[in-house]
Amino acid sequence: MANMDDRTCVITGSARGIGRGIAETLAQHGANVVINYRSSEDAALAAVEGIESMVGEGSAMAVQADVTDRDALEEMRRKVNDEYGQVHVLINNAGINRDTRFVNMTPDEWTQVLEVNLGGTFNATQIFFDDVWNAEEGRLINISSVVGKQGNFGQANYAAAKSGMFGFTRTLALELAPGGSTANCVAPGFTKTDMLESVPEDVRENIVAQIPLGRFAEIEDIACVVRFLASEESSYVTGEVIDINGGMDL
């Protein structure tokens, strides 16, 4: 099913992990995808090459920009508009964690996580706002986390950033609605990426024991829901948070 033909999608932090999976899925459905990266240039170029080699599917370009740097994001927007014209879909995926118990958390660990996860979402959304507003049925999709809903030991900074995305998404849904565009959020559970690899094995075993479906998410579990939200099929869904967590809050 190719239902993203001629749609251009910017995915922040998409050289690897969940972002890359989203980019590949959208391209498989015909989209032009922008692989944004901060430091993973080789992985970004490999992602573009992989997508371009899928005969008959969408196309891809890689653009370096740190989401905390508004000038770099403006430059990215110029490059993308030159290459593809109008951007239809912005997916705020770039994220980091700096985990430690709250009593030990430094102001720097707090600020870094807020600046990338929530500040980066603010920056990219503001810079691509006109694109999403002007697109016919534009889409804003924010990648939050189950941790934003439930909290998690050692992640006060990350939980604060990820739950901040809920109110941000609902407000943007209201502000985009008069133009016919939507804003939604997904809240993945623990997903098999480098971010999860950084969690000690005994902690991971404890987490998986709390997941009713008994396994971590595959990247594809997240990407297919994002593809739905990015497509015209989700026209009447806005301001929602969609949980993809194997039943963790049951």
Residues engaged in binding ligand NAP (CB under 6 A): 12-13, 15-19, 37-40, 66-68, 93-96, 116, 120, 143, 145, 188, 190-191, 193-196
Of these residues, 37, 84, 158, 236, which one is catalytic?
158
- Nearer Cβ to ligand NAP (195/208): 195
- Nearer Cβ to ligand NAP (132/143): 143
Q: Report the residue number whose CB is nearest to ligand NAP.
A: 17
Q: How far is the CB of 7 from ligand NAP (least distance, A)?
A: 21
Q: How far is the CB of 106 from ligand NAP (least distance, A)?
A: 18
CB 244 within 8 A of CB 186: yes
Strand ranges across the sheet with 60-64: 60-64, 32-37, 8-11, 89-92, 139-143, 182-188, 241-244
Of 26, 15, 22, which Cα lies nearest the Cα of 57?
A: 26
- Angle between the 41-52 and 17-28 helix axes, to the nearest 10 degrees? 20
Q: How many CB atoms lie within 10 A of CB 19?
A: 28
Q: How far is the CB of 76 from ligand NAP (least distance, A)?
A: 10
- Catalytic residue flag (residue 158): yes
- Nearer Cβ to ligand NAP (124/132): 124
- Nearer Cβ to ligand NAP (105/199): 199
- Nearer Cβ to ligand NAP (3/195): 195
Residue linked to tokens 């971010």:
195
Of 51, 62, 49, 50, which Cα lies nearest the Cα of 26?
A: 51
Of 88, 87, 80, which Cα lies nearest the Cα of 62?
A: 80
Q: How far is the CB of 230 from ligand NAP (least distance, A)?
A: 16
Q: How far is the CB of 134 from ligand NAP (least distance, A)?
A: 24
Question: Which H or E run contains 160?
Answer: helix 156-176
CB 54 within 8 A of CB 28: yes
User: Active-site residue numbers?
Assistant: 158
